Amino acid sequence: MAASPRRPGTVLLGLRALLGVVLLFGFYVLVVMLLVLVLGTMVALAVLFHAVFRQSGNYFLWLMLGVSGGGASLMRGAFGRMRSNRDALPDGIRVTEADQPRLWAEVRELADEVRAPVPGMILIIPEANAAVHQRVRMFGLVRGRVTLAIGAALLSTLDRAELRAVLAHEFGHVSGGDMRLGPLVYRSQHRLERTVAALRASEKKLDTHLARVIGVYLRLCLRVTLAVSRAQERAADLSAARVAGPEATASALTATVEMTRLYGEFMGRFVLPLWKAGRYPTDLYGGLRAFAADPARQEEIEKFREELLTEPTGRWDSHPGHGERLALLAASPAGPPPGAAMTGTARDLLDRPDDLERVISMVFARLATGLDDPVPVDWDGAAEVYVREITRSSAALADAGIRVGGRWDVPGFDQALELLAAGRGAELVSGSAARSVPGGEPDPEAVRRLRGAVAVAFTAVLAAEHGGVWKTSWTAGARLEWSGTPVAELVDLVMDGPDGVAAVRAELGRPAVDLTPVPPLEEPVHAG
Amino acid sequence: MPVDLVPPVLVPPVLDPTFGDPRARELAAATAQGDTALLRRVAAEDGDADRRSFLLGVAVDHPGRPDWMARWPEDEPDEPLAHLTRGVHGIAWAWEARGTARAESTGSDRFHEFSQRLAQAERDLLRAAELAPDDPEPWAYLVTTARGLQHGTGELCRRFAEVVARCPWHYRAHAMMLQGVAPKWSGSTRLMFNFARDRAAAAPEGSPLVALVVEAHTEAWLDDPAPESGHFADPAVRGELRAVAARLRQAPDAPMTPALARARNLLAFGFSQGNEPDSAAEQFAAIGPHVTESPWHYLPRDIVESFTEARNRAVKP
């Protein structure tokens, strides 16, 4: 659904926010009304029962209560205790003004420009995100200290103008007063969702009906609060555009969304396997920068940007669609001309950025692995961890070589080469006689599997016995470097038959092996 | 020649893990009480690796997990024998959990417990191998854990190579390796027969290792077990069994060891199944009372009963 082009003014926005809060509070009124309705109906039925059957209605009342649950789940959901996480801050490293004076100066300057209070604390968090937290009391009337959390994944990849836009956007939320009712809205919404979930989980029929009523109410509230949230985002974007310029703001928006996705992929592919092995990358963010800049990534990024632009704003989204946000920025008045101070990267603002990034990577790994002392590793050393799986699967061809070749005392790889030379390669992947499709052609699927198994086996043998070295590759995860014929060509050669196998053996200095079966034992011949 | 050997046949067969060896009996009794003094002396003795292996096997042959064995490596972390003992026992203890059925008929809970115990046994054995780098015994048992934990054929062969580098004709390691290279575990029929024939042909004269070939045929017989028409009835198989018997005959004075008893039991079994009573009688005569669990446990009846019945058929009074 396309978003409304009408942007509410501050007063209207405030009124809508207030409506959201009123609706959320209305939930309690609704709960009380429903409880009165349920209990009243039961009492009325009990009285009726007594009047008609001339028997004590007490039993009937209790029976009804037992059957319906009497809205117990409703009571628990609405009034039960809730764990408070109002003041919880994200996991990060606190940097003082003495640690990072230029970053603090930038933050201070931007807060002033947006007329937001200067944060009392800056936390560097690992991910590609930035956020402000503000303690509020008395329903938002009393506002406390502001904490700014900046993601190292942004600090290490954005340029300086983009970082300013990101920070101005966040401070826009503070100066716009979005933080006043934020926690309250969050908690009330959470309570509503919890109540609906509790009622749905109950097996009693009445609870299911109550869940439907509260569910409709929850959707009504969300329609209002999410619309407010989207409006607040638009206002914060405009606030950022005024300070940092619409171009830098648009660029920062795109870069942040893109980096969130890249960061997730990077962590999954390159960092998680290290954590699982009890290690952490000393240069996590250098790796992230190299990963993002890798040529293999550029096509993905282009495609992602196109998809991003066409994504519509949904009525249940907390943020407007990316295309809508960029359109809004394009239509906003030009900002101040970028001064000389605004050039360079965000990372330039940091003192000893390498040290900071290393510490973040270590602290993050401690949190993720639960280990006190995860082992530091550089990116080339990391390749060894990535290839463990390859090494494990490389045993498949060698094992098959031994099983099919039948020699316990000859390396399985050499037996596999011998079988390939003899045209018996298919037995290595199927474990049985060569499969073929009608017409005598080899089964293409079996050939594909054999090629894959042979390639993996080659990399393992080259690394273990022929001086090959595994290097981290931002394209493929890990890449084997060795001085001889490239692996793909070696695979082509051995798949080609006896001459190719002979050429590979000559290059690697590996012997031909005799796979003639050992003859049965014979009775000794006795003289005479 | 077989006729001369008939008299001892009448000795009643006894399934005795100690093979009537007084030292083995003493060791079994001591370890049943948690007394490790004799075990330490036996383990420290150099000389006959197969005898040492047999005695160590007897020392750990106790059901369940005895407390002393569970604690020993913690009490003496640098004592290789402590880790070896618990590791070797751990293998039998793991199979206690698994049962002897084929994988497809074994429940997942049993498999889980089996894998856990076997993995612990492997850790103990690797530690023992580390602490006593010249001892072939931990490696012999690591051949078994390799197949139980499905480490693959290459790893199985690598571990076996570690054994033969330390002791080229270690009987137990060869028997365990034969199981590993059998098609039902990590191997294939071709690999199993190549291994058995290659090692049997190269083994010293009179070595019980020559019967590896019979053990391989027994594995093949399991897939084709019809009496009198099954695998052992094949003339080529019968010829190879006779070749094995002839090789054992070349060392007539070889003392009856547990390994030799097992070799002759295998031959007696093969000849019985292949309906060669005379050749079987020769083996039964040499076996005397020393019936071994393998291969008679493959028959549906009680081990001693199956052995006695086969012997009665072969040796007609």
Report ipTM for this prediction. Answer: 0.92
Digit-coded pLDDT (tens) for B101-145:
666 666 778 888 999 999 999 999 999 999 999 999 999 999 999
Interface of A with B in 412-451 (CB under 8 A): 412
Is pLDDT larger for residue A207 or for residue B163?
B163
Is A399 in Cβ contact with B243 (below 8 Å)? no
Is pLDDT larger for residue B67 or for residue B102?
B67
Per-residue pLDDT at A507: 96
Q: Which residues of A touch B239 (CB under 8 A)?
A: 520, 522-523
**Percent of chain B clearing pLDDT 90 (strictly above):** 83
Average pLDDT, integer, range A32-47: 78
Residue of chain B whose Cα is closest to the Cα of A393: B152
Nearest by Cα to A277 from A202, A396, A371, A188: A371
Sheet holding A93-95, edge to edge: A93-95, A121-125, A142-151, A130-137
Average pLDDT, integer, range B194-217: 96
Alpha-carbon torsion, ordered A423, A428, A433, A435, to 10 deg: -80
Is A402 in Cβ contact with B244 (below 8 Å)? no
B150: left (phi over 0), alpha (psi -120 to 50) or beta: left
Per-residue pLDDT at A142: 64
Nearest by Cα to B172 from B99, B255, B304, B262: B262
Q: Return the sign of the alpha-carbon dihedral for residues B186, B191, B197, B202.
A: negative
Q: Which site among B178, B192, B198, B247 would you substitute to test the A interface, given the most A Cβ atoms closer than 10 Å to its Cβ? A: B198
Is B213 in Cβ contact with A521 (below 8 Å)? yes
Is B188 in Cβ contact with A399 (below 8 Å)? no
Q: How confident is the model at residue A434 (pLDDT cuts 50, 70, 90)?
A: very low
**Lowest-pLDDT range, A25-34, A149-158, B118-127?**
A25-34
CA distance B291 to B286: 11
The number of CA neighbours under 13 Å toward the Cβ of A43 is: 6
Per-residue pLDDT at B3: 42
For residue A182, is pLDDT > 70? no
Is A523 in Cβ contact with B197 (below 8 Å)? no
Per-residue pLDDT at A17: 65
For residue A433, is pLDDT > 60? no
Q: How confident is the model at residue A267 (pLDDT cuts 50, 70, 90)?
A: very high
On whether any CB of chain B is under 8 Å from the CB of A519, the answer is yes
Q: How confident is the model at residue B314 (pLDDT cuts 50, 70, 90)?
A: very high
Cα B51–chain centre separation: 13
On whether any CB of chain B is under 8 Å from the CB of A306, the answer is no
On whether any CB of chain B is under 8 Å from the CB of A520, the answer is yes
In this structure, how many other beta carbons lie within 10 angstroms of the beta carbon of residue B263? Answer: 29
Is pLDDT larger for residue A441 or for residue A281?
A281
Q: How confident is the model at residue A35 (pLDDT cuts 50, 70, 90)?
A: confident
For residue A275, is pLDDT > 50? yes
In this structure, how many other beta carbons lie within 10 angstroms of the beta carbon of residue A284? Answer: 25
Is B200 in Cβ contact with A517 (below 8 Å)? no
**Percent of chain A clearing pLDDT 90 (strictly above):** 47
CA distance B198 to B216: 12
Average pLDDT, integer, range B15-33: 95
- Report angle CA A484, A488, A493 to the nearest 5 degrees: 80
Nearest by Cα to A71 from A205, A193, A185: A205
For residue A506, is pLDDT > 90? yes
Average pLDDT, integer, range B168-189: 96
Q: Which residues of B touch A407 (CB under 8 A)?
A: 191, 194
Is pLDDT larger for residue A296 or for residue A518?
A518
Q: How confident is the model at residue A19 (pLDDT cuts 50, 70, 90)?
A: confident
For residue B24, is pLDDT > 80? yes
Q: How confident is the model at residue A191 (pLDDT cuts 50, 70, 90)?
A: confident
Q: By the 8 A CB rule, do B167 and B126 touch?
A: no
Phi first, then psi, for residue A224 (nearest 5°) are -75, -50
**Which structure tokens are listed for B251?**
């060392």
Rounded to the nearest angstrom, the minimum Cα separation between A430 and chain B is 13
Q: Which residues of A touch B207 (CB under 8 A)?
A: none
On whether any CB of chain B is under 8 Å from the CB of A75, the answer is no
Pick from A406, A521, A523: CB nearest B190: A406
Grouping H, G, I as helix, E, B as strand and the rest as coil, residue B152 is coil
